[in-house]
Amino acid sequence: MKAMILDSYGLEPRMAERPDPTPAANEVLVRVRATSVNPIDWKQASGKYRPILTASFPFVPAYDLAGEVEALGPGVTGFTKGQRVHTRLSGKNGGANAELVRAGLDVLRAMPEGMDFAQAAGLPLAGMTALQGLRDVGGIPMTGATQRVLVIGASGGVGHLAVQLAKSMGANVTGVCSAKNTELVRRLGAAAVIDYTKPDAYAGVAPFDLVLDCVGSSPGDFLDKLVAGGRFASCVPGPAVFGRMALNALSSKKVLPVLLSPNATDLGGLDDAFTKKQLEVVIDSTFPAEQLAEAWKRSVSGRAAGKIVVTWS
């Protein structure tokens, strides 16, 4: 089979021949039709984030994929050959950008009716991060009362799904994005939009129950925008987040990291939201597999609105 591989750290993966994999028990073999780009892909490939994000070589990057079941592992039931499935692969060594990929049943779902391969590849990692950030870290819905949620990076892969999920959970959502994405973020369900490029962008804005940060903001800049008892949930936890977490016990305002835990149950919940038309996967751009490096460049730019998709024929 063909796969995009790296022989060492870097951002120029190449197409190469690899042995066809064989699915083990509790796995299926998927013929990949699409993958999606998440920033972790190029962060891991670059080697810049070692030793937290290491890669073992030859490295096949990416975690999100959609395709058709090619073969079942020994004893596997519940899936059939040819069935359309999607997943955020488990483990920490990527593996998605190949013609054939082994996927564990613990992270695999059948694609819902009406979802195409691009949407199905775009949803898992970003969608589960948004869901777990809002629900498990953010505590939405906490009381049943309407929660005020601020999504920073509301037009990005995680953010555009978080806006929609928060709305479907009954929250009043404010999205933070630049002017060019205002219309998109409003269409996805934000009651208000803040243009982060404007001076005094937050002037007169009432405090929030939850800030979900999808861009790596410093929590110190947002604590005064939280109600007492509010939470700042960071999808990009760095030293400022971990430093402020040490003070959580001294404050009613909590700073917390979002650390994705991929699982088939949450992916199924996202699929249900898609079926109920509560969730739309916006596609920023599409690249053929051979142009994975170009897809990464688009992601590295930080300007993607929605998901970047890589197609496998």
Ligand X SMILES: NC(=O)c1ccc[n+]([C@@H]2O[C@H](COP(=O)([O-])OP(=O)(O)OC[C@H]3O[C@@H](n4cnc5c(N)ncnc54)[C@H](OP(=O)(O)O)[C@@H]3O)[C@@H](O)[C@H]2O)c1
Q: Given the rule CB under 6 A, which of 53-61, 93-101, 241-249, 257-265 is the region that contacts ligand X?
A: 257-265
Residue 238 touches ligand X, criterion: CB under 6 A:
no
Residue 259 touches ligand X, criterion: CB under 6 A:
yes
Q: Given the rule CB under 6 A, which of 71-79, 141-149, 163-171, 298-306 is the region that contacts ligand X?
A: 298-306
Report the nearest approach of ligand X to the CB of residue 301 (Å).
Answer: 8
Residue 214 touches ligand X, criterion: CB under 6 A:
yes
Distance between CA atoms of residues 185 and 174, nearest Å: 9
User: Pairing mode, if any, of strands 100-104 and 27-37?
Assistant: antiparallel
Residue whose structure tokens are 């993966």: 13
Among positions 177, 210, 281, 309, the unique one binding ligand X when judged by CB under 6 A = 177
Residue 174 touches ligand X, criterion: CB under 6 A:
no
> Smallest Cα–Cα separation from 37: which of 105, 104, 116, 97?
97
How many chain residues touch ligand X (CB under 6 A)?
A: 31
Q: Given the rule CB under 6 A, which of 7-15, 95-103, 124-132, 265-273 is the region that contacts ligand X?
A: 124-132
Report the nearest approach of ligand X to the CB of residue 76 (Å).
Answer: 28
Give the number of other Cβ atoms within 10 Å of residue 66's Cβ: 28
Among positions 97, 129, 147, 174, the unique one binding ligand X when judged by CB under 6 A = 129
Among positions 192, 196, 278, 297, the unique one binding ligand X when judged by CB under 6 A = 196
Residue 45 touches ligand X, criterion: CB under 6 A:
no
With CB atoms as reference, the residue minimizing the distance to ligand X is 156
Report the nearest approach of ligand X to the CB of residue 123 (Å).
Answer: 12
Q: Given the rule CB under 6 A, which of 5-13, 77-85, 198-206, 252-260 is the region that contacts ligand X?
A: 252-260
Among positions 5, 29, 30, 40, the unique one binding ligand X when judged by CB under 6 A = 40
> Smallest Cα–Cα separation from 233: which of 282, 307, 171?
171
Report the nearest approach of ligand X to the CB of residue 260 (Å).
Answer: 3
Please, which residue, 31 or 160, has the CB nearer to ligand X?
Answer: 160
List of residues 6+ apart from 57 with CB closer than 8 A: 6, 7, 8
Q: Given the rule CB under 6 A, which of 2-10, 58-66, 105-113, 151-159 is the region that contacts ligand X?
A: 151-159
Please, which residue, 118 or 260, has the CB nearer to ligand X?
Answer: 260
Residue 181 touches ligand X, criterion: CB under 6 A:
yes
